[in-house]
Amino acid sequence: MSDQVRIIEMGPRDGLQNEKAPVSVEARIAFIEALVGAGLSTVEVGAFVSPKAIPQMASSDAVLRGVSHLTDAEFHVLVPNEKGYDAACAAGAQVVSVFAAASEGFSRANINCTVAESIERFKPVLARAKADGVRVRGYISCVLGCPFDGEIKPKAVADLANTLWELGCYEISLGDTIGVGTPDKAKQMLRAVAANIPPANLAMHFHDTYGQALANLYAGMEEGVRVIDAAAGGLGGCPYAPGATGNVATEDVVYMLEGMGIRTGVDMDKLLAATNEMSGVLGKPPVSRVASALNAKRKRAVS
């Protein structure tokens, strides 16, 4: 294990987009500022998608502009097509993410097209981004299981990852969208993908529905992957998978890594403060085990 891991903070996008009630632009900006202040220097801050489809991500342009003063951080935004790319660039985006699914069922449910059709949609985005000097990250959903198609073969994930890689994505984020994976399956999938793509260019985006995310991340680290997507407080979920929880909690990842002597650059106290502030906005406690434990410990200390 190397002594450093890069965490991509997903709370402001992947987390908040699954909340029932949209969060104000001001609260989203304050959340991002607090996360960056805690040492999370790479944050996905929004998605340039139809506000009718995902009202929680409306005004992502205002959010991106609102955090532009944080020059020591890198901000990512999700774009589904050229229209989204145009809007993102107009707001000053330097890194955009495109997304596809490893399963046909999820692709049709999520973006109403086949996997092949989704690739055709973002081919022009990648071509234009290359010409514009904008970096593109690629997401693959349902790499360890699909709510519609069931088990996903590692080869299907590897083939799609190769396509994204060859089209110009600098990093491929592999998502266990419904959190059904286990360590051995995670290793098999990562080995299939890493046959053609260096582990240094892969990221793990594991949800914690069945409580396996940390174990799966550890297994992936044993395979050489050193980038982890996580969401403060464990925010998020999947609208197509009943019971699916959010991305693995950033607090839980930081606690595990720091306990292993692996540097994250994250200040746990400041991260917890950011999580608690957003939890107050949402009106519910964080699902992060570490955040819950630390909050209980502090409550006892002052009582």
Cα–Cα–Cα angle for 30, 39, 47, nearest 5°?
50
Q: How far apart are CA 220 and CA 264, in angstroms?
A: 17
Q: How far apart are CA 283 and CA 15, in angstroms?
A: 15
Nearest-10 crossing angle of helices 250-259, 268-282: 160
Give the residue numbers annotated as catalytic, written as ranges. 238
Q: 129, 85 in Cβ contact below 8 A?
A: yes
Residues paired with 137 in a beta bridge: 97, 171
Q: Label the pairing between strands 135-141 and 171-176.
A: parallel
φ, ψ dihedrals at 209, nearest 5°: -55, -45
Phi-psi sector, 141: left (phi>0), alpha (psi -120 to 50), beta: beta
Q: 252, 234 in Cβ contact below 8 A?
A: yes
